[in-house]
A and B are shown apart, each in its own frame.
Chain A
Amino acid sequence: MTGFLDLYSEKDTFLHRLDPRVKLLAVALISVLAFILAELLYLVVLLCFILLLLVLARSSYGKAFFALKFVIRFMILITLLWPLFDRSGTPILFSIGPLDITEPAVWRGATSAVRVGCFATVWYILMFTTSQRDLVRALVKLGLRFDYGLALAISFRFIPTFGLTIESIKDAQRARALELDRGSILRRSRNYVSILVPTIVYALRTADTLALTLQSRAYGAFSNRTYLREIRMRASDYVALTVVVLILLLPAMAKYICGVRI
């Protein structure tokens, strides 16, 4: 799970420099576009466009592979399972017992798979190119209460620390001859109590200390807080914003106003 939070890498590409608010909007609009497009071909084009952006984000192969592994598995699963549940249309390609696999259903399955692929990978662009700090900053700037933004930032920040602590707790109990994967299910779940209790105690202690630390740094002393680094839209951000809006608007207009099948 921590792998998903570790997708960001410090690089200097136009995607990294882009205002995080524009990136958030781009993710939202491209997701809407994936909904609007109904033809497999155009969805594949959109997916290729997103993957091109991922390449331009210059993420490491390891991280990209880790992230795409899940999407590809999911896409294959959808393609395979869709025709089993959707039996409408003709012609019937072949039958397995009572199951009829129809040609339109196969195409619909593939279309949905690519659409889901678009939804998932477009988020990766954001996660590959935006640090958690910038993301939270953007959300706060967009109107999220600072308290919630801070809570979000802190949770991101502590997930790896938590992971390490749980490893250490596991080791400490294994050193007392605890065998987590031995015995009956009842015995195993009891074994996990010895991991769970120290973890919860650690979490509560950390939260307590953290609250004191925040207070001692005058958190909440003034209601209108100032920021060291303001995010500001630059000319290039406006250009990107326009491009992103057009990417949604043009196909949407083609479909709903001109009635083109896309």
Chain B
Amino acid sequence: MIPRPDADSEDRVIFLRDAKFTYESGVEALKGVTLVIDKGEYLAVVGGNGSGKTTLAKHLNGLLRPTGGQVLVMGVQASTRTVAELARVVGYAFQNPDHQLFCRTVHDEVSFGPANIGLDGPEVKRRTDRAIAIMSLSDIRDRPPLSLTLGLRRRVSIASVIAMEPQVLVLDEPTTGLDAREADELMSIIRMLNDEGTTIVLITHEMKLVAEHANRVVVMMDGKVVLDSDTRGAFSDLGLLRRSKLLPPPVTQLAHRLSQIGVSKDILTPQELVFELTRGDDQ
């Protein structure tokens, strides 16, 4: 489902209109990005290093303010709101969990955000318990977060963001440094959050994650959106992905190689390829 910019704004959580951003150093990181994100989407923002994807993400909760164009969050100009106000709507989990962990226990860490947005005691407790349960951290809730493994530290940092119960959750490279199993566990929890209605914005250059989880892909290159389509569409143009310094998952590359014998090019998972090939055998 690709939302049209002129669609009814009821479901529209984020709207960037020709957003531009130039860093103080003079680097033009966003050169006019227009993007609509609807409620409940699972959106992947992909692109090579320096393509502007993290700069884009930092506009969603006001950490950066556009130097041109507009950013609307829930229909309201983001420029009129503080980061703390926007944080209730847009949660942002940073790539490096060590940049935010500082408390003595996992429980304290997770309750930091909810306490900051001025909720009362019982509500802070309810949200903290919920976030700890969702991220399966109950067994270690009294441990110091900084002494945990990277996989767990990342889960604590994401828990500390979802404890604010934001409608939109921005995840910057959430699987960096995790092993396959930790990454799978984390991604299935995020899938579940999305099923419950949280809008997910996944920033990554890991195309396997995108193929398996996202239902819409925004490809960024050189500060511009060069492709905005459903996930299948994004994987059918290998040339564009290569120009954007992205590597499609091996199964998609294989499907493209096999396209001469009639395999479709928009294969995203091994299961689909098996299905496609065995169907071919029947004919």
Q: Report A's interface with B, CB cutoff 8 A.
A: 165, 168-169, 171-179, 193-194, 196-198, 201-202, 205
Contact = CB atoms under 8 A, between A and B. Distances in A.
Contacts of B84: 174, 177-179
A177 B113 contact: yes
Given A171-B58, A171-B94, A194-B112, A177 B100 contact: no
Interface of B: 58, 61, 63, 82-84, 87-88, 91-94, 96, 98-102, 112-113, 116-117, 146, 160-161, 164
16 contacts: A165-B99, A171-B58, A172-B100, A174-B83, A175-B61, A175-B63, A175-B92, A175-B93, A177-B113, A179-B116, A194-B100, A196-B102, A198-B98, A198-B102, A201-B102, A201-B146
Given A171-B58, A171-B63, A176 B164 contact: yes
A176 B116 contact: yes
A168 B96 contact: yes
Interface of A is mostly: helix
B98 A174 contact: no
B88 A177 contact: yes
A201 B100 CA distance: 11
A176 B96 contact: no
Contact of A172 (B82, B99, B116): B99
A166 to B, nearest CB: 9
Contacts of B83: 174-175, 177
Contacts of B82: 179
Contact of B164 (A171, A177, A193, A201): A177
A51 B91 CA distance: 52
B100 A169 contact: yes
Contacts of B112: 176, 178, 194
Q: Which of B84, B88, B101 has the most CB of A within 10 A?
A: B84
Nearest to B97: A172
A193 B83 CA distance: 19
